[in-house]
Amino acid sequence: MTHKKYTNLSTSELVNMALTREEGVLAANQALTVNTGSRTGRSPKDRFIVKDNLTENTIDWNTINQPISTEKFSALRQQASNHLKKKDCSFISYLKVGSEEKFALTVKVQTELAWHTLFTHNLFIRPEKIITSDQPNQWTLLCVPSFKANPERDGVNSDAAVILNFTEKYILICGTYYAGEMKKSMFSVLNFLLPQEEILPMHCAANVGKDGKTALFFGLSGTGKTTLSADPERYLIGDDEHGWGEEGVFNFEGGCYAKCIDLSQEREPVIWDAIRYGSVMENVILHPETKEPNYSDTRLTQNTRVAYPREFIPLRVTANKADQPNVILFLTCDLYGVLPPVARLTKEQAAYYFLSGYTALVGSTEVGQGTGIKQTFSTCFGAPFFPRPAQVYADLLIKRLENWNTQVYLVNTGWTGGAHGQGGNRFSIPTTRAVVRAIVNGELEDVPYETLRGFDLAIPTFIPQVDTKVLNPRKAWPDEKAYDECAKLLIEKFADNFKKFNVSNTIRDAGPRVG
């Protein structure tokens, strides 16, 4: 059998190939709908970085950044390549990541499946001048999901592997059909490379108001990053990955990767309208006859997803970059219900909460999370994607804040009036949108503030269109003593988590404390 390589196919060609090859079906909204099998999220225990002269002393080696030898990587890559050659065809696209040209990387993507190439066609940046052959210093991403690794032979942990080789500029993905691994692998590459250029890589969304002011939204999946940045009144830059340098903020991507769980046209109109022909929906259940998506059906996973290009968003920043940010929002989903809906942070507090990355794991973004929800601390609001020591990124953040006097706010998109499962309720999207609107419109600059004891956070006493009863979380609880007990538990968790960081006393003392 002759192996054929299809290069730089268009959106319609990739959709047609995926349908012909029975990789997926068209939903009623015309989005290509696929099933990723047993892995419906990232598999962090299967992610490795090749340990060599370049990475030995620059990577923060831990359970997230796991080492693998050059020899094991080379052998596994050869096996995966041989496996792919036995297939009837593969798909190649030459794309880019990074909208700031002097920091952009060319990426040669080769996949076994047409829909995987369509995914990167949507999420990565399509170069203005079509690239038809290998380029100097390009990265290569090889994705062969039907090839299963052998842990004993290959030195990995399961039949899947995601391996980054910084020296050879190569990413190998095998044994998993979840497309998010491709996106996040290139994110990790930029997170390693850009600090050398004095660029802060960020796990954040970004948008711009009609007044030209830029806002950044940090947060883990499920905390509202994509939903809140997809604002029908503001221009979107991107929903997930950006860099911040001396010339401003720039997007790493050319598309968005939104959660579909409980999606509604009323609450999330921008995302709803972007799901159309050319988009890729993962693990969304369709009606067997009408093919209408059921966004509330979680039989396959809570981590249902859709990938679409930025062009599907009418209000977007055409240049895919913007000026220095005016405000930054740290989105945290507080399960304890003790954090306020919004607090204004000092620079030292911003560094503390950035390093802490306190939030909740929502919606099974990672394999093995199950269907529940649990509290976590994810350094830099994206620990799985940052290869260097956390202090590298924290130092860059502080430098940027000092240079541009950007105001940081902590925004709780989680629970209020009680803890999760103990009488509390999650903030509604309209309430959180009202908080965000007040922040980005500058309405919180001149309102009165009070101090939340224990956390020493400055919280506003008035926000337009927000019930004042919820602004101070202690007063939002029916039993203030119960609030104090729950707050004490969370403060102790903050302190325990922060022990691992070697930072100045001014940053350490900016955190919450009991008493």
End-to-end CA distance of the chain: 73
Of 42, 126, 213, 400, catalytic = 42
| DSSP one-letter string for 371-436 | T--EEEE-GGG-GGG--S-HHHHHHHHHHHHHHHT-EEEEEE-SEESS-TTTT-EEPPHHHHHHHH
Active-site choice (77, 203, 242, 344): 203
Catalytic residue among 214, 221, 229, 432: 221
- Of 108, 183, 184, 420, the active-site residue reads 184
Classified as helix, coil or strand, 92 is strand
Closest CA to 119 of 254, 244, 245, 28: 254
Catalytic annotation present for 225 = yes
Among candidate residues 253, 414, 273, the one with its CA nearest the CA of residue 342 = 414
| From 240, 304, 344, 406, active-site residue | 240
Question: Catalytic pick from 226, 332, 379, 431?
Answer: 226
Q: Known catalytic residue: 203?
A: yes
Give yes or no: 5 in active site: no
Catalytic residue among 39, 183, 305, 420: 305
- Residue 264 annotated among the catalytic residues of the structure: no
Residue carrying structure tokens 């306190």:
358
* Contact predicate 337/486, CB 8 Å: yes
Indicate which residue of 116, 225, 321, 344 is catalytic: 225
**Number of other CB atoms surrounding residue 86 within 10 Å:** 9
Q: How many whole angstroms separate alpha carbon 494 and alpha carbon 125? A: 38
What is the Cα–Cα distance from 440 to 155, expressed in whole angstroms?
48
* Rama region for 155: left / alpha / beta (φ>0; ψ in -120 to 50; rest): left
- Residue 299 is among the residues annotated as catalytic for this protein: no
Residues 6+ apart with CB under 8 A from 165: 49, 50, 70, 73, 171, 172
* Catalytic residue flag (residue 184): yes
Q: Are 479 and 417 in contact (CB under 8 A)?
A: no
Type of residue numbered 433: R
Q: 495 is written with which tokens?
A: 């302190």
Q: Is 4 among the catalytic positions?
A: no
83 annotated active-site: no
Residues with catalytic annotation? 42, 184, 203, 221, 225-226, 240, 305
